[in-house]
Amino acid sequence: MSAETATGLKRIGVFGGAFDPPHNAHVELAKAALEQFDLSTLYIIPTGQAWHKARVLSAPRHRLAMSRLAFENLPRVVVDERELQRAGPTFTIDTLQALQAENPQAELYLFIGADQFSSFRQWHKWHEILELAIICIADRAQSTLAQTQFDAYASHNNRFFTLQLPLMSVSATQVRQLMALGSASAGEIAQLVPAPVARYISLHRLYRSR
C-alpha cells in the first residue's frame, strides 16, 4: 500500500492488548502492520482492565514498561498510556474517537487477532467502530480465520482486511503459565518474549505463583 490513501489521508494504526506480557507474536504483528499498511504511526495501546477479561491484569505500570521494552525499537511506534489512565472500563470506541479527533487528517486502522475478531459483535458500539476504523485481522493458530466470519459483515466488507502473518502459537497465557511453574528455562522464555521483556519479568518476579 502507498503511504497515503486515495483521498490523501495518512494511515494511523492502532494495536491494543492487555500485553500481560507482550510477546513475540505481538511484535511480529506490529512489524507486519507497519510494513503492509505503510502506517505513518502505529499506536500501541495497553488496555485498562478490559470489560471482557475476567482475569485481573498485572499492574498498569508493569504492562506499560514491558510494552515499551517490546515495541519501542520499532520505527513509527508510539506506546500510548491513555487507556491505563482511564478510570472505569476501557472501550476501544472511546480511544478511536480520541485518536481521530487528534488526527483529523488520518484514516484509522485497527489491528486485532482472529480470536478478537470472532467476538467482535460483542464489542461495545461495534457499528461505530466500523465507521471509524478499518479492521485488519491477523490469523491466529488457536482461532483460525474462516471466510464465513467475513460473510457475517457483508454490508461492511470494504472495512476489513487480512494482515499477512505466519501462524504463531504463542500467547500471553502460555508465558504466564510457564513462569508460574517456576521451572521455565531462560531459553524457553526467550522463544516467547523479546529479551528485554524476559529480563523485566525475571527482575520483577512477575507471574510467579505464591
Interface residues with ligand ATP (CB under 6 A) are 17-20, 25-26, 29, 112-113, 115-116, 138, 140, 168, 170-173
Smallest gap from residue 64 Cβ to ligand ATP (A): 13
Q: Which is nearer to ligand ATP, 25 or 206 (CB)?
A: 25
Helices (H) and strands (E) in the chain, counts: 10, 6
Smallest gap from residue 168 Cβ to ligand ATP (A): 4
Q: Which is nearer to ligand ATP, 9 or 32 (CB)?
A: 32
Q: Which is nearer to ligand ATP, 35 or 105 (CB)?
A: 35
Residues 74, 77, 79, 83, Cα dihedral to 10°: -140
The percent helix, strand, coil of the chain (3-state, each to 5) is: 45, 15, 40
Q: Which is nearer to ligand ATP, 132 or 192 (CB)?
A: 192
Which residues fall within 8 angstroms of residue 77, CB to CB, at 6 or more apart? 30, 34, 41, 42, 43, 44, 71
Q: Which is nearer to ligand ATP, 9 or 190 (CB)?
A: 190
Place of cell 458500539: 125
Find the helix or strand (DSSP H, E) in which 107 lies: strand 106-113
Q: Which is nearer to ligand ATP, 106 or 138 (CB)?
A: 138
Burial of 166 (0-12, 13-18, 19+ CB in 10 A): exposed
Smallest gap from residue 127 Cβ to ligand ATP (A): 19
Smallest gap from residue 105 Cβ to ligand ATP (A): 26
Smallest gap from residue 81 Cβ to ligand ATP (A): 15
Cβ contact 58:20 at 8 Å: yes
Position with the least CB separation from ligand ATP: 113
Smallest gap from residue 30 Cβ to ligand ATP (A): 9
Buried b (16+ CB within 10 A) or exposed e, 34-69: bebbbbbbbbbbbbbbbeeeeeebbebebbbbbbbb
